[in-house]
């Protein structure tokens, strides 16, 4: 079964059970793949002249166990709807919160950079989730989704409608969109 991300877990105990079952092995399953995408994102942000410092505020929407938030040397936070996945990050440096993309619990313009890695295709309401990402972000966005998802075309169109797209990079499994706030 694939990473199912932001679906209504409260109303689907089978899927909650799935997350409970894979939580302890999540990092082993996805760490290498996630780090490859994160390195690509870091390099591309450098090309765009975006300097990530300790003071940079970064949010990862769909952070899972926090692989991505632990990657950055900045003020990083993450949200994910799976408490079992979030529990795997106990004792690490990241600030992780149980929340859904469609209702991000931060004020407008809270983060310099917002990323979402291989989660968007799983949002309950993709457009609402993308609008929330835009709302909490100040400047820069790196958004990836499975290029083979049946929703890929729709996601790409929504991102182009909501954000000022600067570049789209095709990665092994994902399309990674680098964008600014419109």
Q: What angle do CA 94, 98, 103 make, to 5 degrees?
A: 115
- Tell me: the pLDDT tens digits for 117-166? 999 998 889 999 999 999 999 999 999 999 999 999 999 999 999 999 99
The domain limits of the chain are 31-181
Domain 31-181 has CATH 3.20.20.70: no
Segment holding 78, helix H or strand E: strand 75-80
The H or E element spanning position 32 is helix 26-47
What is the reported pTM? Answer: 0.89
Split at pLDDT 50, 70, 90, the class of 1 is very low
Q: What pLDDT does residue 106 have?
A: 98
pLDDT, position 7: 40
For the beta sheet containing 137-146, the strands, ordered from the edge strand earlier in sequence to the opposite edge, are 95-98, 75-80, 57-61, 111-116, 137-146, 174-181, 163-170
Contacting residues for 53 by C-beta, under 8 A, at least 6 apart: 74
């Amino acid at each position: 079964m694939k990473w199912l991300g932001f679906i209504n877990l409260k109303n689907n105990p089978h899927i909650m059970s799935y997350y409970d079952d894979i939580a302890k092995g999540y990092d082993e399953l996805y760490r290498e793949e996630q780090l490859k995408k994160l390195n690509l994102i870091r390099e591309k942000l450098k090309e765009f002249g975006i300097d990530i410092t300790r003071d940079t505020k970064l949010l990862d929407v769909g952070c899972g166990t926090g692989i991505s938030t632990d990657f950055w040397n900045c003020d990083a936070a993450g949200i994910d709807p799976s408490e079992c996945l979030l529990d795997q990050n106990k004792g690490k440096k990241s600030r992780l919160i149980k929340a859904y993309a469609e209702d991000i619990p931060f004020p407008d313009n809270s983060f310099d950079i917002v990323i979402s890695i291989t989660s968007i295709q799983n949002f309950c309401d993709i457009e609402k989730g993308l609008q929330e990402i835009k709302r909490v972000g100040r400047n820069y966005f790196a958004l990836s989704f499975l290029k083979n998802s049946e929703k890929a075309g729709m996601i790409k169109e929504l991102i182009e409608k909501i954000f000022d797209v600067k570049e789209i990079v095709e990665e092994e499994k994902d399309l990674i969109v680098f964008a600014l706030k419109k």
